[in-house]
Structure 1
Amino acid sequence: MIPPVANRFVAGESPAQALDHVRQLNGRHVKAIVNLLGEHYEDRSSVRSDAAEYRALAGDISKSRLEACLSVKPSQLGLNLGKDVFREELTAVVDAAADHDVFVWIDMEDHTTTDATLDAFEDLAREYGDDDQYRVGVCVQANLRRTRDDVERLADVPGKVRFVKGAYDEPAAVAYRESPRVDQEYKTLLEYAFERFDGGIGVGSHDPAMIDHAIELHDEYGTDFEFQLLMGVRESAQFDLAAEYPVYQYVPYGDRWKSYFYRRMTERNTNLRFALEAILDR
């Protein structure tokens, strides 16, 4: 059972509990990105089990007529076992989701997984999507030195791109480690995307300055975008934003909630502050 201090940030341990949370969100005009917690699997049975649950979840979302999509992690779908395993399982999930008209996000993990993740995203986006309807999306991290080049590469790919600052403790050789520099990179990436992309921009930040910057860019260029925010963090602001803009809440669930909760609380000082504010505001 998830304790009260954590259940603000995790929707439960079962798919039914997660979808019940999604239903409540939809009632407040917020959509959901549903993630079954799990990562860094070293055995095929765990990969197969989670992949099967994602395929079933796509059907449940469609049957329930909920406004929700899926989010999967590469290491959850077998990347640690090899790129071929990852591609096989991810393709099966995307194929099943497409049959149910459910979108799939591919999360980004540490920098060693970037190439495999982007390659898989681009191939699946071109296979399943087109300029009128995107089927898959990928996350890029502003703290990585390579991301400007990656975003240029993705500009004409028929899929969505989520922009985050990046939470992994990456070495200085591949990542910017100073917060002001990461903030500037984030703004620069958003500027490029709003100017060059046809749409499909996901703004994954709770930073008020980045939220305001995205709104200013939308007002200037008119590019379609959405805010993507975490369950349990500044939720009142999420509902306020949803009155004017598309908002998705990242909704994790599953029995592996403990490692997710503690990582979120420690990966950035701002996350800990947001979490404490959320708990005190309960």
Structure 2
Amino acid sequence: MIPPIANRFVAGESPATVLEHVRRLDDRNVRAIVNLLGEHYDDRADVRADAATYRTLIEDIARANLEACLSVKPTQLGLDLGEDVFREELEGLVEAAVEHGVFVWVDMEDHTTTDATLDAFESLADEYGDDENPRLGVCVQANLKRTREDVERLADVPGKVRFVKGAYDEPTDVAYQDSTRVNEEYRRLLEYAFEHFDGGIAVGSHDPAMIDYAISLHEEYGTEFELQMLMGVREDAQEALAREYPVYQYVPFGDRWSSYFYRRVTERKENLWFALRAIVGR
């Protein structure tokens, strides 16, 4: 059982609990991005088990007509076992999702996975989607020095792109270390996307300044976008923003919740404060 300190950030351990959370979000006009926690598998059986859970979720989401999509990690789908394994598992999921009308996001992990992730995304986005009906999305991280070139490459791909600042502890030769510089890069990436993309921009940030900047770019260029935030962080703001803009909440679940929770409360001091408030009930 997930303790109270963690259940602010994780929607239970079972598919049933996460689907109930998604239904509650639907009532608040907030959409869901569902992620089964798991990563860096070195056993194909673990990969297949998670892929099977995702397929069941796809069917459940479609049957219940919920406003929800999925998000998967490359190493959860076998990237550590080889790019061929990852491609095979991801394509199987995308095929099932397209059949049931469910969108799939591919999370971005540390910089060693970037090429394989983008290659798979580009190939499958071209195969299963089009400009009018994208079926796949991918995440890019502003702290990586390569990301501007990656975003330029993705501008014409018929998929969605999620922009985040980056949460992994990357080496200095590949990533900006200063938060001010990362913020500058994030703004530049948003500027490029709103000017050059036809749509499909996802702003993954809790930073009010970045959200306001994205809204101003939307008003300037008319480019469609959505906002994405984590479960348990600024949920009042999520509900308020959802009155005017598409808002998605990233909703993790599963029995591998401890490492995810630790990452959430250590990457931002505000998240630690949220967790402490959960203990004292304030």
TM-score by length of 1: 0.97
In structure 2, relative to structure 1, the CA distance for the partners of 1:48 and 1:67 (3 Å cut) is same
Kindly state the Cα deviation for residue 272 of structure 1 after the two structures are TM-superposed: 3.0
* Alpha-carbon distance between aligned partners in 1 of 2:60 and 2:275, rounded to the nearest angstrom: 30
Give the secondary structure class of the aligned counterpart of 1:211: helix
Give the residue type in structure 2 aligned to 1:136.
L
Residue number in structure 2 paired with 1:239? 239
Kindly state the Cα deviation for residue 273 of structure 1 after the two structures are TM-superposed: 4.4
* Alpha-carbon distance between aligned partners in 1 of 2:88 and 2:231, rounded to the nearest angstrom: 30
Alpha-carbon RMSD: 1.3
Residue number in structure 1 paired with 2:179? 179
Give the secondary structure class of the aligned counterpart of 2:45: helix
* Alpha-carbon distance between aligned partners in 2 of 1:93 and 1:132, rounded to the nearest angstrom: 21
* Alpha-carbon distance between aligned partners in 2 of 1:279 and 1:131, rounded to the nearest angstrom: 46
Residue number in structure 2 paired with 1:258? 258
Give the residue type in structure 2 aligned to 1:162.
R
* Alpha-carbon distance between aligned partners in 2 of 1:151 and 1:190, rounded to the nearest angstrom: 10
Offset from partner CA, 1:166-199 (integer Å, 9 cap, x none): 0000000000000000000000000000000000
Residue number in structure 2 paired with 1:210? 210
* Alpha-carbon distance between aligned partners in 1 of 2:154 and 2:101, rounded to the nearest angstrom: 23
TM-score by length of 2: 0.97
Kindly state the Cα deviation for residue 266 of structure 1 after the two structures are TM-superposed: 1.1
Where does structure 2 lack aligned partners over 5 or more consecutive residues? none
Give the secondary structure class of the aligned counterpart of 1:7: coil
Give the residue type in structure 1 aligned to 2:139.
C
Q: Which moved more, 1:260-269 or 1:180-189?
A: 260-269
Offset from partner CA, 1:119-145 (integer Å, 9 cap, x none): 000000000000110100000000000
Residue number in structure 2 paired with 1:7? 7
Report if the CA contact (8 A) 1:121-1:136 is conserved.
Answer: yes
Report if the CA contact (8 A) 2:108-2:140 is conserved.
Answer: yes
* Alpha-carbon distance between aligned partners in 2 of 1:276 and 1:239, rounded to the nearest angstrom: 22
Residue number in structure 2 paired with 1:42? 42
Residue number in structure 1 paired with 2:118? 118
Aligned length: 282
Where does structure 1 lack aligned partners over 5 or more consecutive residues? none
* Alpha-carbon distance between aligned partners in 2 of 1:278 and 1:87, rounded to the nearest angstrom: 40
Residue number in structure 1 paired with 2:92? 92
* Alpha-carbon distance between aligned partners in 1 of 2:240 and 2:275, rounded to the nearest angstrom: 18
Percent identity of equivalent pairs: 75
Residue number in structure 2 paired with 1:221? 221
In structure 2, relative to structure 1, the CA distance for the partners of 1:195 and 1:274 (3 Å cut) is farther
